[in-house]
C-alpha cells in the first residue's frame, strides 16, 4: 500500500562522488534523503582521485577542505614530460610545465591526489552530522510513477543484496548515481553513446616504490620506445601508474584485456629505463570532479523548486548545462588518450618549459595538454546563456546589465578576491564568505561611499517594495530568526554581501548602510587588500569584477558559484528593477510586475 510506505524527498542510488555530494547538499538543506549503495563499504581500491583546483575550491565552500587535507594528500604543482632518447638510451626529460598556470586565478593552484575512498568518507561523515547515512549493501529492483500519491509520485523498490530483504518507499525524486552500469537508465531506455570505440587499454596500479627516477613525486607523462606511462603522486609515498597494456593496432587486440600486477611492473621497468624502479607494496586497481559539479548543479535546482522559489521548469537546465560539459570532457578524453597513446619518435630536449616559454619544439601532445589546462583545472566550466545566465536574449532587458568594462564572465565562477571583513578586521576570501547554503549570492560592490550613498539607499528602498524578489521570498519564520543568523536573516533565497571600496577603518556599518543591509553585518567588507594580480589599483576586488571603484555595481552569483548577471548600481529603482527582471525569468512568483517593463 502506498500509504504505508516511508516517504523521502529523494532516493539516491549509488554513493560514489555524485551520489554523495548530492546527498550532502540536500541533507544539509533539510531534505529527507535515502542514499543506497550496493557495495558493502566505501571504495577500497583506487579509482578517480585527483581533485581539481576548482573542486578543492568547492570543497572549501562546503567546509570540507580541511577534512580532505587532514589526510595529507599529495599536491601536484608541475607536470614533467619525458620522451625517448635516440639510440635506445631510454627516456629523458624534455620539458615541464605548471599544473595550473598563472593565467588561471585559482585559490589552490595544484591538483590534490587522494584515495577516493577517503574522499567518500569525508562526505559520509558530513551526512552523519545531519542525521543521514548510506544504506548498504542495497540495490534498486524497480520503480514506477503509479499515480497513487501526488506529492510523492514515485514508488521505489529496494533490496538488500545479501539477505534479499525488500523495502518499498515513495519519493519525489529518484536519482541514479550508479555509474556506467545503471539499472535506472536501462529501465528508462536511456542509451549511453560511446564517443569512440575503445582503442587503448590502460592498466592502473598504486604502489609504494623505490626508484632513482627523479620525477616520481611529480605528475609525469612518459613516452618510451616500449610504450607509454603516466605517473601520478599520491598520499603516503604512494605512486599511481597508468600503463598502456593494449592498443587497437595490436594483432591480438582485446578491449577487455587485463594485466597482472607483475605484468604491469615489468612494463613499467622497461619504459622507465635507464632508471630503476622497485615496489615495496603494489596494489592492482576520471570523472569525480565532473560528478561533483553534476551533483551541485542538480542539488540547488531541486532545492529551489522544492523550497517554492523557482518554477519546476528550471530542472531542465540541469541536462542542458551539464550535458554540454560532459561532451566537452568526452571529446577531450578521447583526443588526449589518442595523443598520449601515440608513439613519439626520439626527440631532442625541448628546453625547460616554463610559463613564459611557449616556443620551442613542443609536440602535439604537449600542445593539447597546455591548451586544455583551464578546462582540466575545472575553472574552464562555462554555462551558456539561459534563464540563469544573462545574455542579450534573456527576458530581462535593461541597459544596466553588463556595465561597460565588466570582466566577470557570466556562466563562469566569480573571480576570487581577498577583502577585509569590517566587524572583526579579518582578511577573508570574499567568494568563500557565503558557504554553500543553496542561496543566490548578491554581491553589492558599493564603490566609494560618498559617490554611492544615494544609490545604496535607493537599492534598499526598492528591495523592500512589495513584489520585489526580496519581499516575495521573505522567510515565513522571519519573526523568530536568531539574532546570530549570519547568512539568511530575511530569506533562504538569497544572501547579501556589501563591499565598499574604502579602508576598513572608514566603514561604519550603522551609519553607511540602510538597516536591511546592515542586518548582514558579518557580510560587510572593505576592498582594501592588495592583490598581486591587479597591483596598481585602489580597490582590487572591484577591479577583478570589472567594476568601477567609485560607482560599484552588483554581481549576482548562482548558488553553485557561477555568475548569473552583473548590474550597475544606480540611483532610483533601475538596479532593483533589473534584478526583478532577472529573477522573474525563473522564480515561482511574478516579481516586480507592479512596474511596467517599459520603464527599464
Q: How far apart are CA 36 and CA 39, in angstroms?
A: 9
Q: Is 276 in the site for a second copy (CB under 8 A)?
A: no
> Which one of residues 44, 66, 364, 391 is an interface residue with a second copy (CB under 8 A)?
66
CB 75 → a second copy: shortest distance, Å? 5
Between residues 260 and 426, which has the closer beta carbon with respect to a second copy? 426
Nearest to 34 by CA among 126, 207, 169: 169
Q: Any idea how long the chain is?
A: 600
Measured from the CB atom, the residue of 130 and 211 that comes closer to a second copy is 211
> Which of 40, 262, 355, 505 touches a second copy (CB under 8 A)?
505
Which lies closer to a second copy via its Cβ, residue 393 or residue 424?
A: 424
All three cell numbers of 395: 527576458
C-alpha cell read off for 285? 586497481
Site string for a second copy, 105-124 (x = CB under 8 A): -----x--------------
Min separation Cβ 94 and a second copy, Å: 13
Residue closer to a second copy, measured from CB, 219 or 226: 219
Which residue number, 338 or 509, has a Cβ lying nearer to a second copy?
Answer: 509
Tell me how far apart the terminal alpha carbons of the chain are, to the nearest angstrom.
54
Q: How far apart are the C-alpha atoms of 362 and 375, rounded to whole Å?
A: 20
17-28 and 116-129 are packed helices; what angle lies between their axes, rounded to 10 degrees? 20
For the CB of residue 132, give the shortest distance to a second copy in the complex, in Å. 21
Q: Say whether residue 103 binds a second copy (CB under 8 A).
A: no
Q: In this chain, which of 217, 412, 465, 519 binds a second copy, going by CB under 8 A?
A: 217
188 binds a second copy (CB under 8 A): no
Is the CB of 126 or the CB of 321 nearer to a second copy? 126
Q: Burial level of 370, CB count in 10 A (0-12/13-18/19+)?
A: middle
Which 73-92 positions form the footprint of a second copy (CB under 8 A)? 74-78
Count of residues near a second copy by CB under 8 A: 34
Strands (E), 422-484: 427-429, 440-447
Quick one: which of 46, 84, 177, 233 contacts a second copy (CB under 8 A)?
A: 233
Choose between 229 and 563: whose C-beta lies nearer to a second copy. 229
Judge contact between 333 and 289, C-beta under 8 A. no
CB nearer to a second copy: give 254 or 506: 506
- Report in angstroms how near the CB of residue 512 gets to a second copy at its nearest: 11
Among 212, 250, 331, 355, binds a second copy (CB under 8 A): 212
Please report whether residue 359 would count as binding a second copy according to CB under 8 A: no
- Which residue in the set 104, 315, 509, 534 belongs to the binding site for a second copy (CB under 8 A)? 509
Radius of gyration of the chain (CA): 26
The C-alpha cell of 577 is what?
A: 528593477
x/- letters, 405..434, toward a second copy (CB under 8 A):
------------------xxxxx-------
C-alpha cell at position 159:
533490496
Tally of CB atoms within 10 A around 7: 15
Q: What angle in degrees, to the nearest 10, is found between the helix axes of 17-28 and 288-306? A: 30
352 binds a second copy per the rule CB under 8 A: yes
Query: Residue ranges of the alpha helices (H) in 288-342?
Result: 288-306, 316-341
Sheet holding 78-84, edge to edge: 91-98, 78-84, 219-224, 227-233, 238-247, 200-211, 277-284
Residue 399 exposure: Cα atoms within 13 Å on the Cβ side: 3
Report in angstroms how near the CB of residue 389 gets to a second copy at its nearest: 34
Under the binding rule (CB under 8 A), the answer on residue 237 touching a second copy is yes
Q: Which is nearer to a second copy, 231 or 299 (CB)?
A: 231
Does 96 bind a second copy (CB under 8 A)? Our answer is yes
Q: Which is nearer to a second copy, 74 or 496 (CB)?
A: 74
Cβ of residue 71: shortest distance to a second copy, in angstroms? Answer: 11
Give 65 or 293: the residue with its C-beta nearer to a second copy: 65
Q: Which residue has the cell 615541464?
A: 96
State which of residues 89, 210, 454, 593 lies at the interface with a second copy (CB under 8 A): 210
Cell for 23? 546527498
> In the complex, what is the shortest distance from the CB of residue 127 to a second copy, in angstroms, rounded to a whole number?
18
Q: Which is nearer to a second copy, 324 or 486 (CB)?
A: 486
Residue 17 contacts residue 120 (beta carbons within 8 Å) = yes
Q: Are residues 508 and 453 in contact, defined by beta-carbon separation less than 8 angstroms?
A: no
d(CA 457, CA 182): 54
- As measured in angstroms, the least distance from the Cβ of 424 to a second copy is 4
Contact 459, 406 (CB under 8 A): no
Residue 70 touches a second copy, criterion: CB under 8 A: yes
Please say whether the beta carbons of 10 and 143 come within 8 A: no
| Selected binder of a second copy within 510, 515, 596, 598 (CB under 8 A) | 510
What minimum distance in Å lies between the beta carbon of 95 and a second copy?
A: 10
Q: Report the C-alpha gap between 94 and 361 in whole angstroms.
A: 10
Displacement of CA 59 from its chain's centroid (Å): 8
Q: Give me the least distance between CB of 522 and a second copy, in Å please.
A: 8
Positive or negative: CA dihedral 406, 411, 412, 413: positive
Residues 6+ apart with CB under 8 A from 128: none
Which residues are near a second copy by CB under 8 A?
66, 69-70, 74-78, 96, 110, 208, 210, 212, 214, 216-218, 233, 237, 280, 352, 354, 423-427, 483-484, 505-506, 508-510
Amino acid at each position: 500500500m502506498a500509504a504505508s510506505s516511508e516517504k523521502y524527498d529523494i532516493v539516491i542510488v549509488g554513493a560514489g562522488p555524485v551520489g554523495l555530494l548530492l546527498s550532502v547538499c540536500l541533507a544539509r538543506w533539510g531534505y529527507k534523503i535515502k542514499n543506497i549503495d550496493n557495495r558493502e563499504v566505501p571504495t577500497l581500491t583506487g579509482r578517480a582521485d585527483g581533485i581539481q583546483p576548482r573542486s578543492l575550491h568547492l570543497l572549501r565552500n562546503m567546509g570540507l577542505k580541511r577534512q580532505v587535507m587532514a589526510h595529507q594528500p599529495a599536491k601536484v604543482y608541475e607536470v614533467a614530460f619525458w620522451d625517448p632518447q635516440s639510440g635506445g638510451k631510454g627516456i629523458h626529460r624534455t620539458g615541464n610545465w605548471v599544473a595550473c598556470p598563472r593565467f588561471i586565478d585559482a585559490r589552490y593552484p595544484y591538483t590534490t591526489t587522494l584515495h577516493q575512498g577517503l574522499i567518500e568518507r569525508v562526505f559520509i561523515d558530513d551526512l552523519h552530522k545531519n542525521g543521514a547515512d548510506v544504506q548498504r549493501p542495497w540495490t534498486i529492483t524497480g520503480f514506477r510513477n503509479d499515480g497513487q500519491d501526488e506529492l510523492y509520485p514515485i514508488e521505489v523498490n529496494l533490496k538488500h543484496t545479501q539477505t534479499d530483504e525488500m523495502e518499498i518507499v515513495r519519493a519525489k525524486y529518484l536519482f541514479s548515481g550508479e555509474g556506467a552500469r545503471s539499472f535506472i537508465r536501462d529501465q528508462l531506455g536511456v542509451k549511453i553513446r560511446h564517443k569512440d570505440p575503445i582503442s587503448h587499454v590502460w592498466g592502473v596500479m598504486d604502489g609504494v616504490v623505490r626508484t632513482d627516477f627523479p620525477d616520481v613525486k611529480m605528475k609525469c607523462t612518459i613516452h618510451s620506445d616500449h610504450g607509454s606511462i603516466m605517473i601520478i603522486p599520491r598520499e603516503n609515498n604512494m605512486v599511481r601508474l597508468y600503463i598502456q597494456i593494449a592498443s587497437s593496432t595490436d594483432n591480438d587486440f582485446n578491449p577487455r584485456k587485463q594485466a597482472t600486477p607483475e605484468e604491469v611492473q615489468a612494463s613499467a621497468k622497461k619504459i622507465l629505463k635507464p632508471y630503476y624502479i622497485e615496489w615495496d607494496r603494489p596494489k592492482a586497481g576520471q570523472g569525480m570532479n565532473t560528478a561533483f559539479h553534476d551533483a551541485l548543479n542538480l542539488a540547488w535546482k531541486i532545492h529551489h523548486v522544492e523550497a517554492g522559489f523557482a518554477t519546476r521548469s528550471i530542472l531542465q537546465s540541469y541536462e542542458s548545462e551539464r550535458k554540454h560539459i560532459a561532451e566537452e570532457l568526452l571529446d577531450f578524453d578521447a583526443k588526449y588518450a589518442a595523443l598520449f597513446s601515440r608513439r613519439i619518435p626520439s626527440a631532442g630536449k625541448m628546453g625547460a618549459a616554463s610559463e613564459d616559454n611557449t616556443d620551442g619544439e613542443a609536440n602535439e601532445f604537449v600542445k593539447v595538454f597546455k591548451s586544455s589546462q583551464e578546462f582540466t583545472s575545472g575553472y574552464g566550466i562555462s554555462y551558456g546563456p539561459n534563464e540563469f545566465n544573462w545574455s542579450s536574449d534573456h527576458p530581462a532587458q535593461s541597459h544596466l546589465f553588463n556595465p561597460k568594462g565588466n570582466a566577470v564572465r557570466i556562466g563562469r565562477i566569480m573571480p576570487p578576491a581577498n577583502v577585509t571583513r569590517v566587524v572583526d578586521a579579518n582578511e577573508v576570501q570574499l567568494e568563500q564568505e557565503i558557504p554553500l547554503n543553496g542561496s543566490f549570492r548578491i554581491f553589492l560592490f558599493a564603490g566609494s561611499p560618498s559617490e554611492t550613498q544615494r544609490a545604496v539607499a535607493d537599492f534598499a528602498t526598492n528591495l523592500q517594495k512589495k513584489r520585489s524578489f526580496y519581499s516575495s521570498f521573505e522567510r515565513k519564520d522571519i519573526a523568530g530568526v536568531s539574532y546570530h543568523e549570519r547568512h539568511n536573516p530575511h530569506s533562504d533565497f538569497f544572501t547579501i554581501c556589501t563591499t565598499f571600496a574604502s579602508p576598513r577603518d572608514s566603514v561604519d556599518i550603522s551609519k553607511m548602510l540602510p538597516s536591511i543591509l546592515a542586518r548582514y553585518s558579518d557580510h560587510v567588507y572593505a576592498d582594501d587588500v592588495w592583490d598581486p594580480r591587479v597591483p596598481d589599483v585602489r580597490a582590487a576586488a572591484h577591479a577583478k569584477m570589472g567594476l568601477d571603484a567609485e560607482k560599484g555595481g552588483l554581481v549576482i552569483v548562482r548558488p553553485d558559484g557561477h555568475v548569473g548577471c552583473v548590474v550597475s548600481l544606480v540611483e532610483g529603482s533601475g538596479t532593483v528593477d533589473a534584478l526583478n527582471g532577472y529573477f522573474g525569468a525563473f522564480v515561482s512568483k511574478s516579481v516586480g510586475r507592479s512596474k511596467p517593463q517599459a520603464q527599464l
